Structure 1
Amino acid sequence: MRSFTTVDLNKRVGDITEAARKEPVVITHHKKPKFVLMSMEAYQGLTHAPVDDPRRAYTVEELPDHIADGILALADEYEAADRDGQP
């Protein structure tokens, strides 16, 4: 992965955005990585995983009903076990 400074970004925005079309690039500030610049396609690939992908992350608003129901059922079981004194 290529790396550029924030000063480079100000001076060479065209070169850096062209590099980011091909692969994500790191933008550093005071010699520390601070940002990643990538194409929209690469970003969407990270954030819009297929629905059947078990590694998919959801926000609370997006959580499918069957997953929410399962989480609530587990919470109920945990709470009942805690009331009964079970670990």
Structure 2
Amino acid sequence: MQKFSTVELLRDIKTVTMAADRQPVAITQHRKPRYVLMTYDDFAAMKAQSDPRMVYGAGETPPDLAAMILPELDRLIAEGNESHD
């Protein structure tokens, strides 16, 4: 990944954006990567590939999802208790 400083971005935005047309570029600030500049099409493609799975805390689970999960958890717990008897 090509890197440009924020100063380079301000001084020569044309060169930086032309590089971002080819592939995403890192924008550094104080010598550390801070931002990524990419085309909107690249960004949209990346968003479309995102993982739709979600993680919820015990009290955050949506009711419809909990209604699907709880019976299966109850079944597994009952099976586990039966194997210990």
Normalised-by-shorter TM-score class: 0.5 to 0.7
Q: How many correspondences in the alignment? A: 71
Q: CA deviation at 1:45?
A: 1.1
1:57 to partner: Cα distance? 2.4
Q: Which amino acid aligns with 1:58?
A: P
Alpha-carbon offset, residue 41 of structure 1: 1.3
Give the percent of matched residue pairs that are identical in Structure 1 and Structure 2: 27
* Distance in 2 (alpha carbons) for counterparts of 1:75 and 1:6: 51
**What secondary structure does 1:28 align onto?**
strand
TM-score, normalization: structure 2? 0.65
Q: Counterpart in 2 of 1:57?
A: 51
* Structure with the bigger percentage of helix: 2
Q: Which structure has the bigger radius of gyration?
A: 2
| Mapping of residues 2-81 of structure 1, within 5 Å | 2-49=2-49, 56-58=50-52, 72-78=67-73, 80=74, 81=76
Q: TM-score, normalised by structure 1?
A: 0.64
Unaligned stretches of 5+ residues in structure 2: 55-63
